[in-house]
Amino acid sequence: MGEVVVEDLVKVYRDGVEAVKGVSFSASRGITMLMGPNGSGKTTTLSMIAGSLKPTRGKVYVMGFDVWGDGWVEARKRIGFAPQDMPFRAKLTVLENLVWYGLIRGMGLGVARRRASELLREVGLYEHRRKRVEELSGGMRRRLTIAAALIGDPEVLILDEPTSGLDPGARRGFWELVERLARDKVVIASTHIAEEAEKHADKVIIFHRGRIVAEGRPDELIERHAPLARIVVKGDLRAPVEVEGATLLSSSPEEQAYTTRSPETVLPRLIEKLIEGGSRIESVEVRKPGLEEVYLRLTGERLEG
């Protein structure tokens, strides 16, 4: 039983768009990522969990409290929600914005100020506390977003595409920060980047057109749905060769592709045989499978692009 439980959640928007079509999952301490392309229903689902969008049907329990029933106040006290564009009051400074978030989460002014300063130190924005939010860089703004979501000391953090627009380095820094600050919390985030989910999620829930198509640990998902690595050889090639454990995928005079479960053992023998056969090899590339492939396998569609 997870700390956040979602049961058969459905959302039909007023214009008739069925954005989420019966989604059930649970999330425990650690980072759970909803992964799926744009329009697959991640934001809609997260908003229903966070309490800002009313489900057409279904239940959400946060730490045992019904978000859309009797326990709504208690549930919301335990949720820190960062929508995709975390709203900040334009004329307020970085520190003041955090204080405002503290106030709406029920903290007193003094307590909110102290906690806001603390959080700014933790996310490394303390020296920028007197700046306007609009003066912050993209990365700094994300860190402020985390601080704002954390100010009520919620047990559950909901982060909608928290790294969108960041480069891979900044993304890594962001998730390190989340792991440091929210180690004991339930973090539910969304992403459309497979690599990010693979690297930083403890649990991945794959969304496709408003439905969950698979869920599990990233390595489990890969093992289960896309276990094969791909070896691509380029050059002036003769006939393809047969090596135990490898399957030929495609072949042309310039390029041959093989799939295998264990590229480490297959690769040396494959190259040896190709050379023996008279091929001249220019490059060899091993593509390890990832969640991108998992998504492709499950849906027949590419995740990005």
Partner 1 sequence: MKWGVLSEVYVAVKSLTRQKGILFWVIVFPLLFYGLEVAIWGNPQPETITVGVVNLDRPVDVGNGTLCLGDTFVGAMRESGLFKVVQFNSIDQLKNAVKLGRVDIGVVVPEDFTSQIMNTSHALIEIVSLKTPWASYYESVTQGFVKAYSDEVRNRTINVALTYITGSIANNTANSSWSIPPEYVSYIERFYDFIKQPIRVSEEKLEPPLVGSVGGIRAYYAIGLMGIETLFIGLSMGIFAVIDMKREGTLKVLLSSPLKSYETLASLTLATLFYVGVSCLAIYLFSLPLGADYNMSAGTALATVALILVGALFIIGFGLLLAPAARTPEAATAIMNMIAFPIMFLGGFTVPTFLLPEWIQKFATAYPLSRTIEAVRQMLTYGKGPLWALQYSMPAIIATVVVYAVGVIIYNKLVALAMEG
Summarize as ranges the residues that interact with ligand ADP (CB under 6 A).
13, 15, 17, 19, 36, 38-44
Which of ligand ADP, Mg ion, partner 1, none sits in contact with 40, Cβ below 5 to 8 A by type? ligand ADP
Q: Quickly count: other Cβ atoms within 10 Å of residue 83's Cβ.
A: 18
The answer to whether residue 43 forms part of the interface with Mg ion (CB under 5 A) is: yes
Among 8, 24, 69, 89, binds partner 1 (CB under 8 A): 89
Residue (15 or 264) nearer to ligand ADP, CB: 15
Query: Nearest approach, Cβ of 113 to ligand ADP (angstroms)?
Result: 34
Query: Nearest approach, Cβ of 290 to partner 1 (angstroms)?
Result: 32
Residue (90 or 219) nearer to partner 1, CB: 90
| CB contact at 8 A, 48 and 202 | no
Q: Which among 4-12, 17-25, 39-47, 285-293 is the span making contact with Mg ion, rule CB under 5 A?
A: 39-47
The answer to whether residue 141 forms part of the interface with partner 1 (CB under 8 A) is: no
Which of partner 1, ligand ADP, Mg ion, none sits in contact with 51, Cβ below 5 to 8 A by type? partner 1
Residue (83 or 289) nearer to ligand ADP, CB: 83
The answer to whether residue 163 forms part of the interface with Mg ion (CB under 5 A) is: no
Query: Nearest approach, Cβ of 45 to partner 1 (angstroms)?
Result: 12
Tell me how far the alpha carbon of residue 275 is from its chain's centroid. Answer: 43
Query: Nearest approach, Cβ of 152 to ligand ADP (angstroms)?
Result: 24
Residue (46 or 125) nearer to Mg ion, CB: 46
Q: Which of residues 94-123 bind partner 1 (CB under 8 A)?
A: 96, 99-101, 103-109, 112
- Binding mask 46-85 toward partner 1 (x if CB under 8 A, else -) reads -x--xxxxx------------------x--xx-x-x-x-x
Rounded distance, CA 17 to CA 190, Å? 21
Query: Nearest approach, Cβ of 19 to ligand ADP (angstroms)?
Result: 3
Q: For the chain, what is the HEC assignment?
A: CCCEEEEEEEEECCCCCEEEEEEEEEECCEEEEEECCCCCCHHHHHHHHHCCCCCCEEEEEECCEECCCCCHHHHHHCEEEECCCCCCCCCCEHHHHHHHHHHHCCCCHHHHHHHHHHHHHHCCCHHHCCCEHHHCCHHHHHHHHHHHHHCCCCCEEEECCCCCCCCHHHHHHHHHHHHHHCCCCEEEEEECCHHHHHHHCCEEEEEECCEEEEEECHHHHHHHHCCCEEEEEEEECCCCCCCCCEEEEEECCCEEEEEECCHHHHHHHHHHHHHHCCCEEEEEEEECCCHHHHHHHHHCCCCCC
Task: Summarize as ranges the residues that interact with partner 1 (CB under 8 A).
Answer: 11, 13-14, 44, 47, 50-54, 73, 76-77, 79, 81, 83, 85-87, 89-93, 96, 99-101, 103-109, 112, 158
